[in-house]
Amino acid sequence: MQDDSTGFAAGERIAQRSVWTLLALGIVEVIFSMVTGSVALFADGIDSLSDASVSFFVWTGLHFARRRPSKRFPFGYYKVESLTALLAALTLVVAASFIFIRSYRALLNPKPLNLPYIALAVLLVTGLVSLYRALQMRRIALKYNILSLNIDAKNSIKDASSSFVAFVSVLFTTLGFHGGADAIGGMLIAFYILTVAYVALKESSLVLLDAFHDPELTKQIESLIHSNSQVRSIKELRLRRAGPFIVGILEVAVDGDMTVRQMHTVVTELENSIKNRIVGLRSLTVKAIPTT
């Protein structure tokens, strides 16, 4: 199992860099959208600025998640990471709504673009930078199983692809395909943001509500339990997520003639075998119940 402090530290560093990178890209895009009059470029700029706020929430959440447990929070601050993921998703909803309204108004009253090739160059550069940053973030998120960083990585991939969508819409307008192609590009970006926000809202809300739905992982743990010849049956298996980790409670039925020492051995073997093979399992409380 990866060390949580190492994973959070790596996630915090990449999220911090992401904040400043996206902030710079967003400001550049908004400025050039005013110069060129491109709604799609403006939409992508607002998208980058909202993504910067998402990365800021993730950065803050990972910082708090590294704190040691306290008397008030004896189980640690891991769920702060899920809470910040939820706040990030709400920020995306607000940004998408603003972009859609602005793009719809531009669709009703389309205007020609000024310096379209500059708009194309800005979108191409920002798209490539966003894609490179997204791949870096995704690698760390998957390596350390960090929910909020994984959401931010998906959002970054969305940010890069939305830049390319805006690029195509501006290109169509430049080639003479008028009729609001630039504004339509902005609306597509807004819908794209909403789909990412929906996934983020769903995943973070389920974690905060202690929901757990991973049939394959549950089946894998049950298989490890049944591989112990001393276990008669599984009486209860409860799993939940705490930030990037999984914690669980397990009750198994064993032979009623076992001594206390033998039951302790079974419990220890189960804890070690499961925790060593299940990546991200932070703790597992095992209880052996004697049965006749």
Structure tokens at 232: 């008669």
Q: Do 106 and 183 contact (CB within 8 A), yes or no?
A: yes
| Band (238; pLDDT cuts 50, 70, 90) | very high
pTM of the full predicted structure? 0.69
On average, the pLDDT of the chain sits at 84
**Measuring CA to CA, which residue among 194, 239, 207, 209 is closest to residue 85?**
207
Q: What value does the mean pLDDT take over residues 192-218?
A: 83
Task: Quick: pLDDT tens for 125-148.
Answer: 998 988 888 888 888 888 777 766
Q: Which of 78-92, 155-169, 215-229 has the highest mean pLDDT?
A: 215-229
Measure the CA angle with vertex 79, ends 153 and 51; round to 5°: 30
Task: Quick: pLDDT tens for 28-63.
Answer: 999 999 999 898 899 889 888 888 887 887 787 777
Rounded-to-integer distance, Cα 169 and Cα 36, Å: 14
What pLDDT does residue 125 have? Answer: 93
| Band (76; pLDDT cuts 50, 70, 90) | confident
Asked whether residue 89 carries a pLDDT value surpassing 70, the answer given is yes
| Band (122; pLDDT cuts 50, 70, 90) | very high
Question: What structural domains and CATH numbers belong to the chain?
Answer: 4-208 (1.20.1510.10), 215-291 (3.30.70.1350)
What pLDDT does residue 147 have? Answer: 65
Q: What value does the mean pLDDT take over residues 230-256?
A: 87
Q: What value does the mean pLDDT take over residues 85-89?
A: 82
